[in-house]
Structure 1
Amino acid sequence: MVCKRLPGSPDVGGPTVDTVLDPGAARPGGVLSGQVRLVGGTVDHDVEHVALELVARVEAGHARDDGQAGQAGQAGHGDDGDGDGQGEGDVVFGRHTVGGAFRLAAGEHRSVPFTLSLPWETPVTELAGRPLGIALGVRAAPAVAGTGDQGESGPLTVAPLTVAPLPAQEAILEAFGRLGFGFRSADLESGRIGGTGQRLPFHQEIELTPPPPYAHQVNEIELTFLAVPGALEVVLEADKRGGPFFDGHDALSRFTVPHEGSAGPQDWNALVDGWVRELVEHRESYGSHAVYGHESGRLAGTGSDTGTVVGAGEA
């Protein structure tokens, strides 16, 4: 819950607003609910509406020229010109208007309930209850009549938003953990990934350290999830090690799976291991938009193994 001074009101004796989210983690593409609680100040205010903004802390993008965008099974990470590779800032990735016009009397307590849908590409902030270091939040911005303020001014204050992974995201991360990959870090990068259906102006990158069988070939693997209704696009990038006669370089591959367990593949370990082998060996045996699955809808690897990929990085 975050308390802030109502925009356009005096510093002393003005109304305040709290954003309160319902308990529990949300999921990408799921429903987020809560309420905005306002307390009137020393004078009456006419509130035209209450705007809710989804906010993310995003790092400036890094331009990359991999020369592979558009090839089958591969896509390049690229900067859209918004960043210079340094610094970070707050990005609004969703706006919703809740409640109609009302008068907030002096000293009055008023609650405005809300329910909204999160974008499918909403980043994941935790895995098995462990935070990944991603900062998301919900900001309430009341528009006050007669002040010219439409909720865009004032300091950024947000109610922290927790987002758990979709079933397929969780299964893929579990599979990486069982294959020996460790969690290094996660962040949000501005810019879009070429050749994908990405809609938000930023994307999440989860950096994984390789197990011994791949440690001599790659420094790390970066994992990005791009979800849409019914499917999950998985983008993998390997920072390949150089040798005495050649320089290191980045290799990229892209895959698509159903994001619901009822249509997902059963053997996630074998699937993810195949992805990594293709990425490292530069094969193109998988199509860029193929969906890999089995008839069984059971997700493999759910349960206590979820934290493996996180714990390995911490160790």
Structure 2
Amino acid sequence: MAFRTFLGSLGVNAPDVATVLDAGEVRPGGAVRGRVTVKGGGADVRIERIAVQLVTRVEAAEPTEKSWDNPGVVASQDVPAFDLAAGEVREHGLAIEVPWEMPITHALAGRLRGTRAAVRTILEIDNAVDRGDFDEIAVHALPAQDVFFGAYEALGFRFDAAEVKTGRVNGGRNQTSKFWQELEFFFPPGYRRGPGARLETVFIARPDSLDLITGPHGPYPFEYADLTLDQCVKWLDEHCRSHWQN
């Protein structure tokens, strides 16, 4: 990630700043690792702040379905202010913990429509702030979340889109994040729903378990150690038929 336009406005004395990630993929509960390298220009400068943020696309903050301008900050690591001498090179290690409730962008190795996540670097020099470009990353589903995606698929549900929202989800008794992700699946034939009807699903993940919320129902807790595809298919089918049976 480079700040060429912004730093160019500072003239030939501008420093060079780049963020390099060790990997472009991560899972909830993992960590985004890398380094921020700052190289001094032709004169001494004061770096007021460098902030590296893990961000997600939040539906309500964007004017269109595809815009990606006002992300929500899920986690951040700051580099305190420092003086950078002309020609000096400084490298700062990066390790941002990914929350367990981080919105996912991929499930069953496929991209989820409507989702985006990135690492964004903010640079502040002389009270001028540049938010840089996004380094987009893939946030893959936890194994337990993939199991549920597999169960929906086995029952004939078809994934439509995902949205990240702010606040507290109804039924989110264990929610700790200020963001939550709604995953929408088209109902298959055989349930008491009209054409195009969708079932909203929310995962609230933790290190050893997750809560599942389906529409207005839940939360339903599931331990990772006890989760299998066959069990999820059976539970989900019985659950949906009890609420949406023809």
Interval containing the TM-score (normalised by the shorter chain): 0.7 to 0.9
Deviations, residues 151-180 of structure 1 (Å, cap 9, x unaligned):
xx3345221121111111010001101111
Letter in 2 for 1:51: A
Deviation, 1:193, is 0.8
Match of residue 176 from structure 2 = 199
Please report how far the alpha carbon of residue 269 of structure 1 lies from its aligned counterpart in structure 2 after TM superposition: 1.2
Residue 98 of structure 2 corresponds to residue 132 of structure 1: no
Q: Hey, what does 1:272 align to over in structure 2?
A: 236
Q: 198, 213, 224: which is aligned to 2:202?
A: 224
Q: Distance in 2 between matches of 1:268 and 1:140?
A: 40
For 2:5 and 2:98, the matched residues in 1 are separated by 25
**Matched residues in 2 for 1:118 and 1:177: separation?**
27
Q: Secondary structure at the match of 2:57?
A: strand
The one of 54, 67, 84 equivalent to 1:104 is 84
Give the letter for the 2:171 counterpart.
G
Q: Establish whether residue 252 from structure 1 lines up as the match of residue 217 from structure 2.
A: yes
Q: Distance in 2 between matches of 1:92 and 1:190?
A: 11
Q: Decide whether the 8 Å contact of 2:120 with 2:131 is kept in 1.
A: no
Quote the Cα distance in structure 1 between the aligned partners of 2:63 and 2:218: 26
TM-score normalised by structure 1 residue count: 0.65
CA separation in 1, counterparts of 2:164 and 2:227? 26
More strand by share: 2
Aligned equivalent of 2:211, options 219, 233, 236: 233
Return closer, same or farther for 1:222/1:106 CA change in 2, 3 Å cut-off. Answer: same
Asked if 1:171 corresponds to 2:147, the answer is: yes
Residue 257 of structure 1 deviates from its aligned partner by 0.9
| 2:152 aligned counterpart, secondary structure | helix
1:26 alignment partner in structure 2: 26
Letter in 2 for 1:157: D
Q: 2: CA distance between counterparts of 1:199 and 1:29? A: 14
Mapping 1:1-315, distance limit 5 Å: 2-4=1-3, 10-13=9-12, 14-47=14-47, 50-60=50-60, 89-98=70-79, 102-133=82-113, 134-144=115-125, 147-148=126-127, 153-155=129-131, 157-196=133-172, 197-214=174-191, 216=193, 219-237=197-215, 251-258=216-223, 260=224, 262-265=225-228, 267-280=231-244
Deviates more, 1:122-131 or 1:41-50: 41-50
Q: Matched residues, percent identical?
A: 31
Conservation of the 8 A alpha-carbon contact between 1:175 and 1:269: yes
> Hey, what's the Cα distance between the residues in 1 that align with 2:78 and 2:131?
20
Q: 5+ residue gaps in structure 2? A: none
- Aligned partners of 1:174 and 1:188: how far apart in 2? 21
Which consecutive residues of structure 1, in runs of 5 or more, have no partner in the other structure?
61-82, 238-250, 282-315
Q: Retained in 2: the 8 A contact 1:252–1:279? A: no
Structure number with greater CO (CA < 8 Å, separation at least 6) is: 1
1:28-67 Cα offsets, whole Å, 9 max, x none, are 121221111223333222336532222222112xxxxxxx
SS of aligned partner of 1:51? strand
8 Å CA contact 1:5, 1:11 repeated in 2: no
CA distance in 1, matches of 2:3, 2:212: 38
Separation of aligned partners in 2, 1:128 and 1:203: 20
